[in-house]
Chain A
Amino acid sequence: MAMTDDDLVRQLEAVPLVESPDFRKAFMEDRRSRLSGQAGLPVLHFKRPLALGLAWAAAVVIVIGVGLWRAPQPQNTAATMAQSDFSVSQSGDRIFIKTNVKGDLEWDPARLSKVQTLPDGTVVFRRRPGAAGFTEIRLRVAGGEVLKTSIRVD
């Protein structure tokens, strides 16, 4: 016999809501890691002669830097390096890596396992159980290392 609309509605409304993962915890961890990245700079106190010396050194670096900047740039890996970037985010035991250039990622399989590549190119890694300390993820373009980032895995 055909199913009535009331039967269907009854079935639909009997479906239980499942418990949700703790998204607040993941959100707060993400906020903390972003904020600690910005706020972790040490405050240095110098005596006056040292400060003057550093100011001169900085001026020299700026002059040399401007000279190099104005010189013609070779089209090589260094140029790619200047344009390429990692975007790293973490959620629980998942680590999300997004790069803005095409290349090969290298990682330590003892600490991280690759889960999947998302449609936007983000590569998702999962921390191996028991992994501790820091691990590096490298980006290679045309065989040369372009970027690397260090990630805490515990």
Chain B
Amino acid sequence: MSYSNFSSSELYLVKEEDLDRAAVERCLEGDSDAFGELIVRYQRPVFNTVLHMVGDAEDAREVCQQAFMKAFEHLASYDRDRKFFSWIYRVAVNESINWLKARRPHEELDESFEHPRANPAEEFEELEEWRHLHEAILELDPNYRAVVILRHFVHFSYDEIAEILKLAEKTVKSRLFTARSLLREALEARGHGHD
């Protein structure tokens, strides 16, 4: 997706706020289909956020699934005066950070386990042109990683990121500045530079 496409997606999010509110109301009245609508609306950007946070498509699928289930189970605690999308992203980012903290260095895998290859996300991981960038992002501390992903991959504004991560806007800017410096260093170490 190009940058211009994503701009229209931002507009889409703004337009959908009222629909989100209505879906949440219906869901709290017992209509779980309404939560399905919310999932459809946010699954792609939320999955991409989680994918870059955890760095593996299969892990991202599980973390994202858990995030949506957790959001559904805790929907009553969501403050309806705030935007739903900032809440669902917060749940997803927190779930990703918890996953990264809890992840053991090595998972014991059954010998018969075959990593599923049907997901296009795996194809993305195999694209050479993104490999170094992807690796450099995964080297960042998850708190820095989150601001880079929310700003540059899903294109949130500083104040939206501040709301999602419950940070002051100046902290978001400062983390982003540091994160980009670290990314540049990591990419330069891999031979990337200005042509």
Contact = CB atoms under 8 A, between A and B. Distances in A.
Nearest to B101: A119
A11 B152 CA distance: 9
Contacts of A26: 65
Given A17-B48, A24-B36, A12 B133 contact: yes
B89 interface: no
Interface residues of B, number: 54
Interface residues of A toward B: which range?
35 or more
A4 interface: yes
B91 interface: no
A114 interface: yes
Contact of A5 (B72, B119, B133, B180): B180
A18 B184 contact: no
Contacts of B3: 13-14
Interface string A6-30: 0111011111111111111011101
B51 A18 contact: yes
25 contacts: A3-B192, A3-B194, A5-B180, A9-B152, A12-B148, A13-B3, A13-B152, A16-B124, A18-B120, A19-B120, A20-B48, A21-B47, A21-B61, A23-B64, A24-B40, A27-B32, A27-B39, A27-B68, A27-B69, A113-B112, A114-B110, A115-B110, A116-B109, A120-B102, A126-B113
Interface of A: 1-5, 7-9, 11-24, 26-28, 30-31, 91, 94, 113-117, 119-120, 126
Interface of B: 1-3, 6, 32-33, 35-36, 39-40, 43-48, 51, 61-62, 64-65, 68-69, 72, 102-104, 107-110, 112-113, 119-121, 123-124, 130, 133, 148, 152-155, 180, 183-184, 187-188, 192-195
